[in-house]
Amino acid sequence: MQKYLETFVQMISLRGLTDHTIRSYSTYIRAYLDYLETVLLKKPEDVSWQELRDFIIYIQNERSLSDRTINATISQLRFFTLYVLHQSWDPYQLPIRKFDVYLPFVPSKLEVVTFISSLKDLKQKAMVSLMYSAGLRIGEVCRLKCCDIDRQNMRIYISKCKNRSARFVNLSPKLLPLLEEYWRTCGKPKVYLFPKQRKSDVERPIDSFYLPRHIKAHEERLGWDRRLSCHSFRHAFGTHLYESGTDLLTIKTLLGHKSLLSTTIYIQLATTITSSVTSPLDSLEDLNHV
């Protein structure tokens, strides 16, 4: 089965995906090939549609997968069938699932300032401040280079983002002194602003899993419920900008969204929308006299 997996990795690599995305896409194809080898005892090209459906049910029960993850697995199986097996794919045999959509948690301005100001570690404080002040993704923060900080024009260059288009974001005047203090205190990094912690790897960016565990640990120190993630601060950036009157097109540009539809979530998240609307019940006369 190894040759099938290698071919799959080669084909998705041709799409120019990042190493992280390739590993993610390969996860359930590897599980599928293991299933064929240990359970069905079949080659991939001999698998029936019913057996594909059985695998989806099996892996969902085995790993308690969400409907979103099941859809991602089906997408990977489709790619595998088309580009590795060179067989046709019938979407009516393995339909995509509907799933519930939840609004993400957005910390208030008070919660943001409390969280950031109480962080003792300079690196963690600088990384979280970057996500909130400029709306950066954790991957964008990790890949920032020292030369991307343009102090003369007070902006930050984002060379790689999710939709593969570079952009500039504002460099907050309050953030710059913190970044400079971090840079001086933490070894004066030369290439990446946040390099790996091992001295042998200082020319490589820090791992994206470094910060999430520290965010969770700091929530526990503050006695908060564990609701924050790295993306919470990016959502807070977009929401708080919208609440302060910034238009959606500007927010879309700053966040690097490919579609304006992605940006409209901040209409739902903004507290100013619900607080400024009067319920029709409140316009009625005293209900006790009805």
Q: Which residues are known catalytic residues?
A: 137, 162, 231, 234, 257, 266
Measure the CA–CA gap between 137 and 231, rounded to whole angstroms: 7
The closest of 218, 203, 20 to 115, measured between CA atoms, is 218
Cα 209 vs. chain centroid, distance in angstroms? 12
167-170 vs 149-150, strand pairing mode: unpaired
